[in-house]
């Protein structure tokens, strides 16, 4: 059963933005294949359905941007901030977020398979039915997020924190864990609970996780 005490995960670093952002100018600052973007602020821009490969965006800000249905491969966002953006049904493979913050955004049904998240903070965002399989997380925090039905199977979770998140029905089978913490989270019907060995749990989620472990072990709990 997951431990109730453990070394706390490291908090993510904030984006390193020590520049004055300039407004995006289209089409020069369009997020397209092989793009190299730096110091740009996007407000209300639309990237719906775009397919992007081998692009880099450094020290950037996106506000009210729409990425719905976008497909990315080998794209890197570093020192990036996303505010009230829409990532619903995005298909991102081998995509990286490094020193990034995502606030009040919609990530419903998005797929981030085989991607990399290093020093990333997700806050007050909706990421239900999102898929993060085979991805690597290091120093990542989810706070106040809806992650119902999210799929983290085969992911690497190192220095990862879930705070006040709804993880009902989330899947964690075959994850690799190092300094993983759940704080005041809902963990009802979590799948793959046995793979969370070594995680720290604070709040009522501990009992919910125990029930999930019993279920996976074939133990029937009777009133």
H helix runs in 103-185, sequence order: none
pLDDT (tens digit per residue) in 153-201: 999 999 999 999 999 999 999 999 999 999 999 999 999 999 999 999 9
Q: Which CATH superfamily is domain 127-217 in?
A: E3 ubiquitin-protein ligase SopA (2.160.20.80)
Indicate the domain borders of the chain: 32-100, 127-217
- Taking only the tens place, the pLDDT of each residue in 39-92 is 999 999 999 999 999 999 999 999 999 999 999 999 999 999 999 999 999 999
Alpha-carbon distances, residue 173 vs 29, 133, 192 (angstroms): 40, 10, 4
Burial class (CB in 10 A: 0-12, 13-18, 19+), 207: exposed
Edge-to-edge strands, sheet with 51-53: 51-53, 71-73, 91-93, 111-113
Query: What is the pTM (predicted TM-score) of this model?
Result: 0.91
């Amino acid at each position: 059963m997951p431990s109730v005490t453990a070394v706390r995960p490291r908090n993510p670093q904030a984006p390193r933005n020590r520049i004055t952002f300039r407004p995006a100018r289209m089409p020069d600052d369009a997020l397209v294949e092989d793009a190299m973007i730096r110091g740009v602020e996007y407000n209300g821009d639309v990237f719906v359905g775009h397919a992007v490969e081998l692009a880099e965006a450094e020290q950037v800000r996106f506000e009210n941007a729409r990425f719905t249905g976008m497909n990315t491969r080998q794209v890197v966002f570093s020192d990036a901030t996303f505010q009230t953006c829409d990532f619903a049904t995005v298909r991102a493979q081998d995509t990286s977020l490094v020193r990034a913050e995502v606030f009040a955004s919609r990530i419903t049904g998005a797929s981030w398979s085989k991607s990399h998240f290093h020093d990333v903070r997700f806050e007050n965002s909706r990421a239900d039915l999102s898929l993060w399989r085979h991805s690597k997380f290091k120093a990542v925090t989810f706070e106040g997020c809806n992650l119902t039905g999210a799929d983290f199977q085969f992911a690497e979770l190192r220095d990862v924190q879930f705070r006040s998140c709804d993880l009902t029905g989330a899947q964690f089978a075959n994850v690799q864990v190092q300094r993983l913490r759940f704080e005041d989270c809902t963990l009802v019907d979590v799948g793959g609970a046995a793979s969370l060995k070594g995680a720290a749990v604070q709040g009522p989620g501990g009992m919910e996780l125990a029930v999930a472990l019993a279920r996976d072990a074939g133990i029937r709990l009777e009133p």
